[in-house]
Amino acid sequence: MNTTSHDDVRALDAADPLATLRERFELPDGLIYLDGNSLGPMAKSIPAEMARAVSEEWGQGLISSWNDAGWWELPMALGRKLGPLLGAGGGQVVVSDSTSVNIYKAVQAGLAMRSERSVIVTEAGGFPTDLYITEGAMQGRPNLTRRLLGENGAALDDVLDGDVAVVLLSHVDYRTGELFDMAAITRQVQAAGAIMIWDLCHSAGIVPVALDDCNVDLAIGCTYKYLNGGPGSQSWVYAAARHHGKIRQPLSGWWGHAAPFEFEQAYRPEPGIKAFLCGSQAILGMRALSAALDVMDGVDLAQVRAKSMQLTDLFMALVDQECASHGFGHFSPRDAAKRGSQVALTHEDGYAIMQALISRGVVGDFRMPNILRFGFAPLYISHEDVWNAVAILKDIMETEMWREPKFSVCSAVT
């Protein structure tokens, strides 16, 4: 195996077309932040944007800011900013609510479009919210059943038939980082007559996505990971234009009404993507998200993807090179084309090792039962960061620093 030197890594950084983008983010000195797949860092422009929204729009403008500052239109305006990052034409994306709420809306909308069918398909190993929400969607509807890919069948062909109404899958597996073929899977699901819903939480903003070209029906995703919108920042929904006017989601709040200020007694949904709105939105959070999305202006996602593949390849190679004797397993695909921007290692003492890494300024996270996750966001991670992270990991293992009792004490958030 060819070895990688420190000079090799520095040469990669010298040729990096995205290197200057790191300056757009607020990152503590010396910290190697490999947890953007869980929570992205703050853009330096956000505090001023938030201060302006608080002091001027809310403090001085008060209720007039719904009109004068564009508050009322923010969900659609942010949808227009997101559309190009998702391969979505205008008027098909809206920002609102949380990921869990939007999954519920999308699943119920898909079920309504296939009301003659009675099966929901999702992944046994999917993110728990996807499992919990599909379970909740069946409550009070005894005709509905659920099939789990990986439990009721190993492949999609094993769980697809004429009874399947909707299929909800993650584009990138939150544990392994595996990237799935959106176009091929969408074709397969639609050929079976079902509605395809994609969860893009771990791919939006980091992997080039082509929702329109892939003929996707519905998609949802968060904005606080690779889009850096802040803790709990609003989610988004995509609905293909061909479904507009036929979509009915159950959270029929006033923001989704066709004429909300006519104050009609009966619900009359907006015929377009605004039908996925529900109640009043968290405007201050949307202002932070707007500033975060501005950071992506002019960024070439093809370059982001190329650097992402370099970073994850480098990390895996260096772990093999420097830590081969320390019991780590690779849980992510070896082929970079089949990975998102995340690498997952396994180790029986993974939690303590991750806590030791964090104490040394290398931030990743841990997922049960034995998974150390590392996210590589090319806008602010360098190749030398990867070199230094693996050097610290090697030192922690060789000195057995991770064995200190304090690193085995479990926190509420891992």
* DSSP for residue 202: T
Q: Which domain holds residue 181?
A: 48-294
Residue 1 lies in a domain: no
Please name the residue ranges forming H helices in 324-381. 350-359
Residue type, 79: G
Q: Judge if 339 and 325 occupy the same domain.
A: yes
Q: What angle do CA 348, 351, 355 make, to 5 degrees?
A: 140
Q: CATH code at 85?
A: 3.40.640.10
Tell me how far apart the alpha carbons of residues 238 and 204 are, in angstroms, rounded to a whole number. Answer: 12
Kind of pairing between the strands at 195-199 and 145-149: unpaired
Q: Judge if 36 and 117 occupy the same domain.
A: no
**Closest listed residue to residue 211, CA positions, set 364, 106, 299, 346:** 106
Residue 413 lies in a domain: no
Q: Judge if 29 and 103 occupy the same domain.
A: no
Q: Which residue has the tokens 């909800």?
A: 168
Give per-residue pLDDT as tens, 131-155: 999 999 999 888 999 999 999 999 9
Q: Where does the pLDDT of residue 413 fall: very low under 50, low under 70, confident under 90, or very high at 90 and above?
A: confident
Residue 163 lies in a domain: yes
| Crossing angle (nearest 10°) for helices 6-14 and 383-399 | 150
Tell me how far apart the alpha carbons of residues 60 and 47 are, in angstroms, rounded to a whole number. Answer: 18
Domain ends where: 260, 294, 328?
Answer: 294
Domain ends where: 245, 276, 294?
Answer: 294
CA max distance for the chain: 71
DSSP helix, strand, coil percent of the chain (3-state; round to 5): 40, 15, 45
Catalytic residues: 127, 199, 224-225, 373
Across residues 120-140, what is the average pLDDT?
95
Give per-residue pLDDT as tens, 33-89: 999 999 999 999 999 999 999 999 999 999 999 999 999 999 999 999 999 999 999
Query: Per-residue pLDDT for 238 more than 90?
Result: yes
Q: Where does the pLDDT of residue 412 fall: very low under 50, low under 70, confident under 90, or very high at 90 and above?
A: confident
Q: Which residue has the tokens 């995205």?
A: 18
**Closest listed residue to residue 233, CA positions, set 40, 10, 385, 407:** 40
- With the CA atoms of 239, 245, 246 and 249 taken in that order, what torsion angle do they form, in degrees rounded to the nearest 10? 60
Q: Where does the pLDDT of residue 354 fall: very low under 50, low under 70, confident under 90, or very high at 90 and above?
A: very high
206 close to 343: Cβ distance less than 8 angstroms: no
Q: Judge if 238 and 353 occupy the same domain.
A: no
Q: Judge if 205 and 75 occupy the same domain.
A: yes
Q: Where does the pLDDT of residue 284 fall: very low under 50, low under 70, confident under 90, or very high at 90 and above?
A: very high
Q: Judge if 53 and 34 occupy the same domain.
A: no
Across residues 185-213, what is the average pLDDT?
98
Q: Judge if 162 and 73 occupy the same domain.
A: yes
Tell me how far apart the alpha carbons of residues 208 and 200 are, in angstroms, rounded to a whole number. Answer: 11
Residue 20 lies in a domain: yes
Query: Per-residue pLDDT for 9 more than 60?
Result: yes
Query: Per-residue pLDDT for 199 more than 70?
Result: yes
Query: Per-residue pLDDT for 264 more than 70?
Result: yes
Residue 352 lies in a domain: yes
pLDDT value of position 1: 53
**Proportion of the chain above pLDDT 70, given as a percent:** 100
332 close to 176: Cβ distance less than 8 angstroms: yes
Average pLDDT of the residues of the chain: 97
Residue type, 12: L
Residue 273 lies in a domain: yes
Q: Judge if 319 and 235 occupy the same domain.
A: no
347 close to 396: Cβ distance less than 8 angstroms: no
Across residues 381-404, what is the average pLDDT?
98
Across residues 162-188, what is the average pLDDT?
98
Give the DSSP H/E element, type plus range, for residue 103: helix 99-113
Domain ends where: 294, 327, 347?
Answer: 294
Q: Which two tokens stand for residue 293?
A: 């999305």
Tell me how far apart the alpha carbons of residues 282 and 265 are, in angstroms, rounded to a whole number. Answer: 25
- What total of structural domains would you count in the chain? 2
pLDDT value of position 180: 98
Q: Which two tokens stand for residue 307?
A: 């650097």
Q: Judge if 167 and 204 occupy the same domain.
A: yes
- 210 Ramachandran zone, left/alpha/beta (phi>0; psi -120 to 50): beta
Q: Judge if 248 and 314 occupy the same domain.
A: no
Residue 13 lies in a domain: yes
Q: Judge if 38 and 12 occupy the same domain.
A: yes
Tell me how far apart the alpha carbons of residues 358 and 338 are, in angstroms, rounded to a whole number. Answer: 28
Q: Which two tokens stand for residue 191?
A: 């050929």
Q: Judge if 165 and 305 occupy the same domain.
A: no
DSSP-derived 3-state class of residue 367: strand
Q: Pick the residue with more confidence: 411 or 73?
A: 73
Residue 414 lies in a domain: no
Q: What angle do CA 178, 113, 233 make, to 5 degrees?
A: 50
- With the CA atoms of 292, 90, 280 and 229 taken in that order, what torsion angle do they form, in degrees rounded to the nearest 10? -10
Across residues 119-123, what is the average pLDDT?
98
pLDDT value of position 140: 84
Q: CATH code at 404?
A: 3.90.1150.10
